[in-house]
Amino acid sequence: MATGSRDDAERRFWERYRKLLLKQGVKPAAVRWYILRAEQFIRAFSGRRLAELSRQDADEYLGRLGQDSRLQAWQFRQAVDAIRNLYSIVDTEWAGDVDWAFWRDSARTLEEQHATTAREYAAVTPEEFAQRIGESRFAPLVREHLEVFARFSTVMRTRGLAIRTEKSYLGWCCRFLARFGGSAPENLGAPEVATFLEELAVERNVSASTQNQALNALVFLYDKVLERPLGDLGFRRARGPRRLPVVLSQSEVKRLLAELRGTQWLIGSLLYGTGMRLMEVLRLRVQDLDFDRALITVRRGKGAKDRIVPLPQSLVGALRQHLEAVRELHERDRTEGFGETLLPDALARKYPKAAGEWRWQFVFPSGRLSVDPRSGATRRYHLHETAVQKAVSAAARRAGIHKKASCHTLRHSFATHLIEAGYDIRTVQELLGHSDVSTTQIYTHVLNRGGLAVRSPLDTA
């Protein structure tokens, strides 16, 4: 009788779980997989009731699951959602404290051609070049002119240009050659380049910045790679519109950050509190945080420049607590025979053991390990930026902010609010890492001080 009652209670529980999934929009065909993931979690703690488990148990389980690099992104995300939904039914005090968003964000790991990892490898096959560009249709074209593309990539890296610049330039070279039937670049010249740029502007109606980027890529190809300067193209660079950045008020920033939780809140707070770019935050290492001096060192920011930004005192406690959790994750990795991260430049060869040291770990590591497709090494990279971008945009919508708010908007807001507070523009320039003060001066236009000094005649009526 007791067994029958227990079976009935179990059936009712899973039926309630199934209805919850369907209510959340899970497709009926996928429900059984969620149940399977939930059952795997329960079996991992055999002999213990769900209500008896702790937040640490859930985090450790997801951490172990993240060490299985065979799991695809959707499978890992499904497992996280399955466990989270379990605790929507099982009432516990700690379930709301688990950073479920962090674990879901960890489902997507850095791709081989991601800006953080791509510099470690040189593309050697047409398919790898096409993967870097992001358009597989160019693989036959690259195969036909592989030597030129390999030389192009080598010259760009020798000059220390950004990997994303390399990607965009390679793409424009492919589009240019494809426009003229895949001809060798040596058989083309200034007339064809001018024709291509004119078609971009007239027929495709691209923006001025896009047109100038295409021009820069082709000039680089002929001048630096083929060593056949184009000379005077008879083509004038397009002048883009002078747009003001989107800036949030301090009240709007507070409302936006209030809609973020856990790791996403901490990253969003750093974006606004320091003025760093998103990738600069995600690439922070433990050693870059100086709590005693209340400073953060940004290494190899845009233009390969280092700089120092203030560490907000209001975030010290949250950052220390966050690093404790990251260290626990790192120690579990070391126990399992992992614990290495990606090192910049050639440091991994110079200091073979440094990759496993605590000081080199990312401040915002992914919850999943990734296997390097070439070396086979299993590493823990930083969180993927798309997760944070989506979280900030969604938070702005929930906060009722009717502006095009993004991660970079928080950087714009940081600069504007500093100038509003009376800080010198040169100080703001250094904090933002701008080479030219004219770039920083756009934030003084946002203030529109001249307009604010004039009283509208409507207000005097």
Active site residues: 277, 302, 408, 411, 434, 443
Check if the beta carbon of residue 384 is closer than 8 Å to that of residue 390.
no
